[in-house]
């Protein structure tokens, strides 16, 4: 493909030549993107972005929106940093981000070999999507030395089908080291090509940069007559403020303007006209983000209300209802129902089809319908009835440093059952990723401490037919656990009542602590880990401990879910994977594997020999 790209240079030269004499910067250290752009004759500098790719994926309705926003933030970070750190202002900064998506999940670069194995196993025998978001930032340095920025962004999507991969092929490829710096865990241009059965779309997009679409976008930018109408391929013309910057760049390329000492264009700018729109656009993006945060509670309450009123169940049974029909089905006012339905459409929870009828979106079908295997309605009810009320006292809790988590969760059966439904929903959604994060087949017996409804235990029994699992929890929890037991399972899952701080622990080869350690004080955590260490069966080759929590980043800047959970100011604390590892090692365990999953919980497996 490199040779083909070089042969295309003459064809694309009229487009690329428009950037001649400009300080063009690639905000990426990817050797694939560097090679693709170099092969078409583009001259540019490489300044890797410092932007941390920690955007909350759940805030984006579609995966490509996440890729585009990440690319935009990468490019803007470099554009804003260079005048101060590099003492020169670029004319154009190019940012890009490539993601692999399958079944609605975004797969980026694997964190370790186990993560690569999990990704590639998921892709085996299936068709997936490779999406690259690209952002082109046009920079205009004014006479007062301030810089205005305009961002033009787009994305390209390619469908890729993997062959059925054997375990040997998977591990041979992983052991080659190639997957570790590539989105989705493979590189199609190298050894990873042997995994691919076919592709539909732009090959170079899978490599890491959609060259064809990029050149078309440049052609639109520098040839205004092409942008008077929407292109046949769906691309639309940049707005007027883009043209102000492009025109100034074009003049400089023709030698009609002066160049600064740093080599960047400094066209004359007045305080009026289209250029003012550039500043407004950048500020508008910031304003949008702040408003999203301020209105977040409204979105949550709309979600909780629609779930409580069973809007999604109604539309699952009777899809394609008009607003009036939904109102009658809910026994609610027409005006109020229409407002709620429209809000849910804006949040991506519903879709409004032709004729003004409503249907569930893919998101709500998966998580918000009662009979879905991944239903989170129990967690919704707990968040609405308990957590919402607790967080209304957050300011007082922060000022006083008091625990926001009320013990009334277990004060009566109704609250207790609601809490158990919430934990069951989380376990049903997050459990499979935790259970399959590592190979646990060596363990014949397992004990899920604080296992609540037994969701994790039943998942383990299903995944490992030779394993028997004990769920160990408080007597009041075990008493209600029968409500959640799926029918037809064998007797390999059993429930034992007890207090893991006070009573003797059941013997097992593998102990499980899922969403347990973050709840307790250091003293309690050390006491529990000491009991588990002592309970490990003497004479066994090894005893395992599987810990599942939300792992914070090393610098504690994310993920937001874990840090917001910490706002509860409970007696425990949130930790990073490294902090959990050090904690476990102090009790004689050796960390074997760490997995940052794409689900709600991460996982860590440690062994005591």
Q: Domain limits at 594?
A: 411-608
Q: Is pLDDT above 80 for 404?
A: no
Respond yes or no: is residue 97 known to be catalytic.
yes
Q: What average pLDDT does range 329-352 have in this prediction?
A: 92
Is the confidence at residue 608, as pLDDT, over 80? yes
Cα separation of 268 and 258, whole Å? 10
- Whether residues 335 and 463 share a domain: the answer is no
Q: Give the integer Cα–Cα distance in Å for 92 and 42.
A: 12
The pLDDT confidence band at residue 300, using thresholds 50, 70 and 90, is very high
CATH number of the CATH domain containing 456: 3.40.50.150
Q: pLDDT-derived band of residue 244, with 50, 70 and 90 as boundaries?
A: very low
Q: What is the CATH number of the domain that holds 321?
A: 1.10.10.10
Averaged pLDDT score across all residues of the chain: 81
189, 300: one domain: no
Q: Are 502 and 560 members of one domain? A: yes
Q: Who has greater pLDDT, 278 or 574?
A: 574
Within a domain: residue 485? Answer: yes
* Alpha carbons 386 and 405: distance in angstroms, whole number: 9
Give the residue, 82 or 96, on which the prediction is more confident. 96
559 in the same domain as 420: yes
Tell me, yes or no, whether 47 lies in a domain: yes
Domain boundary among 372, 402, 427: 372
SS3 606: strand
Highest mean pLDDT among 237-251, 272-286, 430-444: 430-444
Which of 61-70, 234-243, 469-478 is predicted least confidently?
A: 234-243
Report the C-alpha gap between 369 and 373 in whole angstroms: 9
The CA-to-CA distance between both ends of the chain, in Å, stands at 51
- Pick the range with the lowest mean pLDDT from 54-58, 354-358, 379-383, 470-474: 54-58
pLDDT at 415: 73
281-290, 319-328, 530-539: which range is least confident on average? Answer: 281-290
Instruction: State the helix-helix crossing angle for 455-463 and 413-435, rounded to 10 degrees.
Output: 30
- The answer to whether residues 369 and 361 touch, using CB atoms and an 8 Å cutoff, is no
Q: Model confidence at 314, in pLDDT bands (50, 70, 90)? A: very high
Determine the Cα–Cα distance for residues 85 and 26; give it in Å rounded to an integer: 16
Collapsing DSSP to helix, strand or coil, 552 comes out as strand
Are 356 and 417 part of one and the same domain?
no
> Greater confidence, 609 or 41?
41
| CA atoms of 70 and 52, how far apart (whole Å) | 9
Over residues 305-315, mean pLDDT: 95
437 pLDDT more than 50: yes
The answer to the question of residue 599 being in a domain is yes
Q: What is the pLDDT of residue 143?
A: 66
Q: Do 478 and 350 share a structural domain?
A: no
Kindly state the average pLDDT of the residues 67-75. 93
The pLDDT assigned to 13 comes to 57
pLDDT in tens, 523-550: 999 999 999 999 886 555 578 999 999 9
Give the pLDDT mean for 346-353.
Answer: 91
Number of H helices, E strands in the chain: 24, 17
Domain total of the chain: 3
| pLDDT digits 0-9 by tens, 131-150 | 999 999 988 876 666 778 88
User: Omega before 505 cis (within 30°)?
Assistant: no
The residue with greater pLDDT, 249 or 158, is: 158
pLDDT at 14: 64
Q: How far apart are CA 231 and CA 110, in angstroms?
A: 37
Of 48-52, 508-512, 590-594, highest mean pLDDT? 508-512
What pLDDT is attached to residue 10? Answer: 44
Residue among 42, 35, 39 nearest 14 (CA) = 42
Residues 367 and 435 in one domain: no
pLDDT at 77 over 80: yes
Sign of CA pseudo-dihedral 407, 411, 415, 421: positive
Q: Mean pLDDT throughout 512-529? A: 93
State residue 295's pLDDT score.
87
Domain boundary among 178, 196, 227: 227
pLDDT over 70 at 263, yes or no:
no
Instruction: Specify the range with the lowest mean pLDDT, choosing from 119-123, 339-343, 404-408.
Output: 404-408
pLDDT at 425 over 70: yes
Whole-angstrom Cα distance, residue 147 to residue 266? Answer: 10
CB 510 within 8 A of CB 544: yes
pLDDT confidence bin for 288, thresholds 50/70/90: confident
Q: 585 falls in which pLDDT band (50, 70, 90)?
A: very high
Q: Is residue 575 part of a domain?
A: yes
Is the pLDDT at 397 greater than 60? The verdict is: yes
Same domain, 363 and 444: no
The CATH number for 11's domain is 3.90.950.10
- Domain boundary residue among 209, 227, 245? 227
Claim to verify: residue 453 and residue 366 sit in the same structural domain: no
Q: What is the mean pLDDT of residues 59-67?
A: 87
Mean of the pLDDT values across residues 188-202?
89
Helix (H, G, I), strand (E, B) or coil at 51: coil
Q: Are residues 172 and 320 in the same domain?
A: no
Task: Count the neighbouring beta carbons within 10 Å of the beta carbon of residue 501.
Answer: 10
pLDDT value, residue 427: 86
pTM of the model: 0.52
Task: Based on the fold, state whether residues 363 and 437 are members of the same structural domain.
Answer: no
From 91, 97, 115, 473, active-site residue: 97
> What percent of the chain has pLDDT above 70?
83
Query: How far, in Å, are 154, 188, 376, 428 from residue 436 at the CA level?
Result: 35, 26, 21, 13
Angle (nearest 5°) at CA 373 between 371 and 375: 70
The predicted pLDDT at position 579 comes to 92
Same domain, yes or no, for 365 and 440?
A: no
């Amino acid at each position: 493909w490199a040779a083909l790209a070089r042969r295309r240079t003459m064809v694309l030269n009229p487009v690329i030549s428009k950037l001649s004499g400009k300080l063009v910067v690639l905000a990426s250290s990817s050797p694939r993107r560097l090679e693709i752009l170099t092969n078409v004759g583009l001259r540019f500098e490489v300044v890797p972005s410092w932007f941390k790719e920690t955007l909350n994926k759940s805030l984006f309705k579609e995966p490509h929106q996440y890729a585009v926003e990440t690319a935009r933030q990468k490019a803007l970070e470099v554009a804003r940093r260079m005048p101060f750190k590099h003492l020169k202002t670029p004319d154009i900064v190019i940012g890009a981000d490539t993601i692999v998506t399958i079944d609605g999940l975004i797969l980026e670069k694997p964190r370790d070999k186990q993560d690569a194995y999990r990704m590639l196993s998921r892709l085996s025998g299936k068709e997936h999507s490779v999406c690259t978001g690209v952002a082109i930032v046009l920079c205009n340095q004014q006479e007062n030395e301030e810089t205005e920025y305009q961002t033009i962004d787009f994305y390209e999507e390619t469908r890729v089908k993997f062959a059925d991969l054997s375990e040997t092929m998977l591990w041979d490829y992983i052991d080659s080291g190639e997957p570790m710096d590539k989105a989705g865990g493979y590189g199609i241009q190298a050894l990873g090509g042997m995994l691919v059965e076919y592709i539909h779309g732009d090959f170079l997009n899978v490599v890491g940069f959609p060259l064809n679409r990029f050149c078309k976008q440049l052609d639109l930018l520098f040839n205004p007559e092409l942008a008077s109408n929407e292109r046949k391929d769906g691309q639309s013309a940049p707005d007027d403020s883009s043209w102000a910057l492009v025109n100034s760049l074009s003049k400089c390329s023709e030698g009609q303007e002066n160049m600064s000492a740093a080599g960047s264009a400094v066209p004359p700018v007045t305080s009026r006209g289209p250029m003012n729109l550039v500043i407004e656009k950048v500020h508008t993006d910031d304003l949008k983000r702040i408003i999203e945060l301020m209105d977040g509670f409204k979105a949550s309450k709309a979600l909780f209300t629609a779930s409580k009123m069973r809007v999604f169940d109604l539309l699952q049974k009777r899809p394609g209802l008009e607003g009036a029909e939904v109102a009658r089905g809910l026994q609610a006012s027409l005006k109020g129902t229409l407002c709620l339905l429209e809000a849910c459409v804006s949040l991506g929870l519903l879709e409004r089809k032709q004729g003004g009828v409503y249907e569930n979106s893919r998101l709500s079908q998966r998580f918000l319908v009662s009979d879905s295997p991944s239903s989170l309605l129990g967690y919704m009810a707990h968040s609405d009835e308990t957590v919402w009320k607790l967080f209304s006292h957050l300011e007082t809790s922060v000022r006083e440093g008091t625990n926001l988590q009320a013990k009334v969760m277990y004060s009566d059966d109704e609250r207790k059952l609601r809490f158990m439904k919430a934990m069951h929903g989380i376990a049903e959604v997050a459990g499979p990723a935790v259970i399959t994060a590592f190979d646990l087949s060596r363990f014949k017996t397992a004990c899920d401490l604080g296992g609540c409804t037994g969701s994790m235990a039943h998942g383990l029994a299903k995944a490992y037919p030779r394993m028997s699992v004990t769920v160990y929890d408080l007597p009041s929890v075990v008493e209600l656990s029968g409500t959640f037991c799926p029918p037809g399972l064998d007797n390999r899952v059993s429930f034992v009542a007890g207090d893991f701080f006070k009573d003797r622990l059941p013997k097992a080869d593998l102990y499980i602590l899922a969403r347990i350690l973050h709840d307790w004080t250091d003293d309690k955590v050390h006491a529990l880990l000491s009991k588990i260490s002592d309970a490990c069966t003497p004479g066994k080759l090894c005893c395992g401990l599987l810990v599942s929590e939300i792992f914070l980043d090393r610098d504690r800047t994310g993920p937001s879910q874990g840090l917001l959970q910490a706002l509860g100011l409970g007696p425990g604390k949130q930790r990073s994977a490294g902090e959990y590892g050090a904690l476990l090692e102090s009790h004689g365990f050796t960390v074997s594997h760490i997995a940052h999953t794409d689900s709600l919980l991460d996982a860590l497996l440690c062994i005591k020999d």
